Every structure is written in C-alpha cells, then in structure tokens.
Amino acid sequence: MSKQNQWVVGVNAVASAIENDAEHVREVLVDSSARNPRLVEIEEQARRYGIEVRKVATQALDGIGGNVRHQGVAARYAAAKTWGEGELAGLVEAADGKALLLVLDGVQDPHNLGACLRSALAAGATAVVIPRDKSAPVNATVRKTSAGAADRLPVVQVTNLARTLRELQKQGVWIYGLAGEVDETLYGVDLKGNVALVLGGEADGLRRLTRETCDGLVRIPMPGDVESLNVSVAAGVCLFEAVRQRGS
C-alpha cells in the first residue's frame, strides 16, 4: 500500500478521514471565524485522537483543495490508501470464491470516481481497480465525493490493465465488460462467483485491449429514450445486480 502526503478538505471528507484512519491524519486546520457546529465536532473528534488542531484565517484554507470548497476545514493526510497491483491476488484469494471487483478503464472525472467508490463500498466490493495512467487520482475531490469510501475500500492502481485482467482470469475471475451495443444483458449472466465488472471512461468507453480481454460483454437494458448512463450510475446498477444475485 503506497502512502503520500495530501490535503483532505470539506466537512464530510475530514470527518471521515479522522473516523476511519486517524493514525494517518497529521493535523487539522479549522477556520477561526467559522461558526459551523460541525467544525466544533470535528475539532473535538480530532483532539480525542490526539491530532493537532490549528485555528487559522479563512485565507489560509483558500486554495488548499484546489477547486473543492473547504467549508472551513482541512486535514493534512499522510496516507492515500492506494494498493499495489501485487496485492490484488491476495484480496481475491481472501474473498474465498466470491470476489466482486469493479474495474474502471479510464474514469477521469474525480466526482465520477468518488461516486463509483461509494457504490462499490455499499455493495461490499472486494476492491476497485484503476489504471495508473488515464484515470483520476484518489485526490481530495474523490475522497469528498466518495463519502468515506476512499478510506475504507482497497483501490488498486495497475500499470497494464489488460495484463491485470488476464492475471485475474488465471485466478478464476470472470471478466464482464459493459458495452451498450451488444445483445447480452447484464441480467443474463451469472454474477455469483468471482466476478470483475469493467466499465469504460466517460468519453470513449472500454479501450480495445480491455474489450478483447473480457470474457463477455453485456449491456444494461434501457427502454427509455437515452443512449447511455453516467458511469457512476452504471457502476451502481451493475454492482447491485451482483448483490441481488448473491442474495446479500
């Protein structure tokens, strides 16, 4: 698991970081002029865990999270929980024949990535796999959007996605990619065993090598007058069909 310093901003993101991974929160900055009761709760929570809290001017918080609104609080976080690709096999093995993986082939919008992580955590997914390149990093925006999922769910970054999928197949994982133009539907495949659900990026969908590596391609039936779903919505539909089939 790799670790790096970064800032987490926003009330929910900071509270989640303290609650789920307090040992890696180095300090919390709180707007000295703010009157939000949630900030008082966060300050008290941080002090209970022995985390240093500093009251600062609003200007000191501006710009820390880039375009993310800080809402009067930020935390310096020393561990972005991204897992190495060498750890993925162990996660699958530990799932004992019921691994559920969400593979995102080039999701570049951090809000979409965060929403996908949130759905994956809610569905009890084993891990989320993302390519090291052509993907949004697990940054402050992702952490805030994921509502804590980024701190609690293994996110595995891999160098070569097609190679990783082939290694998963050797472990007995069935790989299903989502493609809108195919005949087979999501509801017609067995998702009860070791399964990886692969969704493409916002603009181009699955890349060619990714498509060719999948065991099968499926679509989400959409009788309404729309061509595609947002990737985070599609991820939720796919994950919870697996949940339904597994009787969870």
Return binding residues for S-adenosyl-L-methionine: 200, 220, 229
**Longest CA span, the chain:** 58
Amino acid at 186: L
Burial class (CB in 10 A: 0-12, 13-18, 19+), 204: exposed
Q: What does the block give as tokens for 30?
A: 């709180």
* Ramachandran angles phi, psi of 200, nearest 5°: -85, 180
Contacts (Cβ under 8 Å, ≥6 apart) of 160 = none
Is there a contact between 19 and 147 (Cβ–Cβ < 8 Å)? no
Q: Are 208 and 106 spatial neighbours (Cβ–Cβ below 8 Å)? A: no
The set of residues, in sequence order, having a beta carbon less than 8 Å from that of 16 and lying 6+ positions away, is 143, 147, 148, 151
Least Cα distance to 47 among 30, 61, 72, 59 occurs for 30
Q: What residues are designated binding site? A: 200, 220, 229
Distance of CA 149 to the CA centre of its chain: 6
- Which run of H or of E encompasses 216? strand 216-218
